[in-house]
């Protein structure tokens, strides 16, 4: 067999079944090779080019990408959003500019809603402002003959959801900062989200008409966040505006169009139809109403739509004013009727030839979701494995500390590590405060890790981290925090462990036994207490001691465990200062994310 016979062209994504056919093998053999390489895939599952190339290599075949330039671009960007994959498969000659999609973010009370109102009432695409439907969640305006699409709700939930699913729903972020208030916590959070989504940022410096406005101070604060104004030699456009006085609105529109012209915001109106769900709800009279943002192709009446796992044929379609329309091209927001279930904001929607085909895609997605649920979390040691394999070049961190004074030494130490190593450490967000759901969402979107110092993760954040596969590591000593990151970069980090509480007992009384010491007479309130577990002694909300059990008795007999409702005597190594009312919390250490 010649060299040519041992080479095969493989697309960027391909199902296991089609890959087997291309390699002139059977699906079972391909799945065995995938399993041997740690990939559990079914016959209909999509694998990327790199994975397919490994299978081909083990069969003695050289894999060649269908488009070399395309695969190189995908490698550069790391995780490839679905919308980019689809558009990159389009004929480049068919791609034309589409209206930019803009979302407005910023701190509460800095004037996001007022700015949107000012834009809406001065630049309506067609007709009067009063005719605009206020509930669709997105609308279009016209400026100098060019359309701009806005996500209507400030800090819209869909923006975070889009990022978390790898879909860059917005092309441009307008960050609203009050000239009299400056950069606030929500401002920093918005900057972090926009940077993680790799979206250009324009700053709308609002409330410049106020007597206490201090634009120069705000620009200095923005510079400290990496947004250096263009007038200071940076590349961030800072536009002074007053939403209430309608000052600077035209300048802001011009900045948006200029940014759009400098970005490749393209689509194929005649190509594959897909986009993103902006919001959805159930109307008592009309059924499921979903607002969609078309990102490629042209959506038409009667199309079969799959949004997330919701399927339906479009029975009616409306523009942002509530007017019935028959079709919608790229960057157009529409409201549709016909879906059987309510999709989630941020879900990708696509058009399929039939409902049967759409249902087959849903079944495949469910199988992939089941596989994902058993996938380890992105722990520091696993991220390093990706670095070694060339799958990642950056370590993204979200850092939360107890006080602002702790931030500087931690950030400086981490930056020093980044300079010394081959892998870039990217601190996406850093501030004082407990770990929140937003921190976890940002880590999920950027495949990062949340690092905490002397803080806690709230219950909602913990649950979200579990669902999203995000690793949270909390420290109480700075050098251990830095040491762990350094070890991760060198591939020496020990596996991460977490505490799992298995039982709680309340101290009712104490006994003093010669040669043994003080024993706590307890009743097990929940779970069970085991002889080989560790115990936190909690007095109120404070943990006053953590240690090992030295003795565990039930009715004077040594036992291995005591279950709920039973009385027992507990002795701890190195602790005797029991008080009635103390809670003994038994826990075991489990390997985390493995």
Query: What is the predicted pLDDT for the residue at 130?
Result: 38
474: Cα within 13 Å, side-chain hemisphere:
13
Phi, psi at 91, each rounded to 5°: -65, 120
Give me the chain's average pLDDT, please.
Answer: 79
Is residue 497 within 8 Å of residue 589, measured between CB atoms?
yes
- Joined together, the tokens standing for residue 528 give 């069970």
Q: How many CB atoms lie within 10 A of CB 37?
A: 11
CA distance 472 to 330: 38
Whole-number Å distance between alpha carbons of 321 and 369: 37
Residue 496's pLDDT is what?
60
- Please give the pLDDT value at position 155: 45
Per residue in 431-478, pLDDT tens?
888 898 888 888 887 778 899 998 888 888 888 888 777 888 888 888
If DSSP codes are grouped into helix, strand and coil, which group holds residue 582?
coil
Integer Cα distance of 103 and 250 in angstroms: 17
Task: List the beta strands (DSSP E) in 353-448.
Answer: 394-401, 424-432
The continuous run of DSSP H or E covering 511 comes out as strand 497-513
Against a cut of 0.95, is the pTM above it? no
Q: Which residues of 206-245 are buried (b: 16+ CB within 10 A; e: fewer)?
A: bbbbeeebebeebbebbeebebbbeeeeeebbbbbbbbee
Domains, the chain, in order of start with CATH, read 4-77 (no CATH), 99-264 (3.40.50.300), 274-353 (2.40.30.10), 380-494 (3.40.50.10050), 499-591 (2.40.30.10)
Q: Cα-flanking dihedrals φ and ψ of residue 60, to 5°?
A: 75, 25
Nearest-angstrom CA–CA distance, 29 and 21: 11
Q: Which two tokens mark 215?
A: 């634009």
Residue 586: the pLDDT is 92
Question: How confident is the model over 165-214, as pLDDT tens digits?
Answer: 333 467 888 999 999 999 987 788 777 767 766 778 999 999 999 999 99
* Residue 81 C-alpha from the chain's centroid: 12
pLDDT of residue 409: 81
- Tens digit of pLDDT for each residue in 391-418? 556 778 899 988 777 787 888 888 877 7
Within 10 Å of residue 79's Cβ, how many Cβ atoms? 12
Task: State residue 76's pLDDT score.
Answer: 33
Which structure tokens are listed for 259?
């940014």
Residue 392: CB atoms within 10 Å: 19
Q: In what order do the strands lie in the sheet with 138-143?
A: 138-143, 146-151, 101-106, 172-178, 201-206, 237-240
- The answer to whether residues 203 and 71 touch, using CB atoms and an 8 Å cutoff, is no
**Which residues, in sequence order, are CB contacts of 315 under 8 Å at separation 6+?**
337, 338
SS3 508: strand
Interacting residues of 344 by C-beta distance below 8 A, sequence separation 6+: 161, 277, 280, 308
User: CA 424 to CA 530: how far, in whole Å?
Assistant: 44
Q: What is the pLDDT of residue 118?
A: 86
Q: Which residues of the chain have pLDDT under 50?
A: 1-5, 67-80, 123-135, 154-168, 372-377, 492, 593-594
């Amino acid at each position: 067999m010649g060299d040519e016979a041992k080479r095969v062209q493989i697309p960027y994504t391909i199902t296991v079944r089609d890959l087997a056919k291309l390699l002139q093998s059977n699906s079972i053999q391909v799945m065995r090779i995938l399993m041997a390489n740690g990939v559990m895939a079914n016959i209909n599952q999509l694998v990327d080019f790199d994975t397919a190339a490994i299978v081909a290599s083990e069969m003695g075949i050289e894999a060649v990408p269908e488009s070399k330039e395309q695969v190189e671009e995908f490698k550069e960007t790391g995780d490839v959003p679905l919308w980019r994959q689809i558009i990159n498969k389009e004929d480049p000659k068919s791609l034309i500019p589409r209206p930019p999609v803009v979302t407005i973010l910023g701190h509460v009370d800095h004037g996001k809603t007022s700015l949107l109102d000012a834009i809406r009432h001065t630049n309506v695409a067609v007709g009067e402002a009063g005719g605009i439907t206020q509930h669709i969640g997105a609308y279009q305006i016209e400026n100098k003959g060019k359309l701009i699409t806005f996500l209507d709700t400030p800090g819209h939930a869909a923006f975070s959801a889009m990022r978390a699913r790898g879909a860059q729903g917005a092309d441009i972020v307008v960050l609203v900062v009050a000239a009299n208030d400056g950069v606030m916590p929500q401002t920093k959070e918005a900057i972090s989200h926009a940077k993680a989504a790799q979206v250009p940022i324009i700053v709308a410096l609002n409330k410049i008409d106020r007597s206490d406005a201090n634009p120069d101070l705000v620009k200095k604060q923005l510079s400290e966040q990496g947004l250096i104004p263009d007038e200071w030699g940076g590349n961030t456009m800072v536009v002074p505006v007053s939403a209430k006085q309608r000052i600077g609105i035209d300048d802001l529109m011009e900045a948006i169009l200029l940014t759009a012209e400098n970005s490749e915001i393209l689509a194929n109106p005649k190509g594959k139809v897909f986009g993103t769900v902006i919001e959805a709800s159930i109307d008592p009279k009309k059924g499921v109403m979903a607002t969609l943002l078309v990102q490629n192709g042209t959506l038409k009446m009667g199309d079969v739509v799959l949004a997330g796992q919701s399927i339906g044929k479009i029975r009616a379609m409306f523009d942002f004013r509530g007017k019935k329309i028959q079709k919608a091209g790229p960057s157009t927001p529409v409201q549709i009727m016909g879906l059987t279930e309510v999709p989630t904001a941020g879900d990708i929607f696509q058009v399929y030839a039939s409902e049967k085909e759409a249902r087959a895609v849903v079944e495949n997605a469910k199988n992939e979701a089941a596989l994902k649920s058993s996938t380890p979390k992105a722990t520091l040691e696993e991220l390093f494995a990706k670095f070694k394999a060339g799958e990642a070049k950056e370590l993204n961190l979200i850092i939360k500390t107890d006080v602002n004074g702790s931030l500087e030494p931690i950030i400086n130490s981490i930056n020093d590590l980044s300079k010394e190593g081959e892998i870039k450490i990217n601190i996406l967000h850093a501030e004082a405060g407990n770990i929140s759901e937003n921190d976890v969402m940002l880590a999920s979107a950027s495949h990062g890790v949340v690092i905490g110092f002397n803080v806690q993760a709230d219950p909602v954040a913990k649950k979200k981290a579990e669902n999203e596969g995000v690793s949270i590591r909390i420290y109480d000593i700075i050098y251990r925090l830095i040491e762990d990151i350094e070890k991760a970069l060198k591939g020496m980090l020990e596996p991460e462990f977490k505490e799992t509480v298995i039982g709680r007992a309340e101290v009712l009384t104490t006994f003093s036994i010669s040669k043994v010491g003080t024993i706590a007479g307890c009743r097990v309130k929940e779970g069970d207490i085991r002889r080989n577990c560790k115990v936190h002694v909690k007095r109120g909300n404070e943990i006053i001691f953590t240690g090992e059990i030295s003795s565990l008795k039930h009715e004077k007999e040594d036992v291995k465990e005591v279950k709920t409702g039973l009385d027992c005597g507990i002795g701890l190594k190195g602790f005797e200062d029991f008080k009635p009312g103390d809670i003994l919390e038994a826990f075991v250490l489990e390997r985390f994310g493995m």
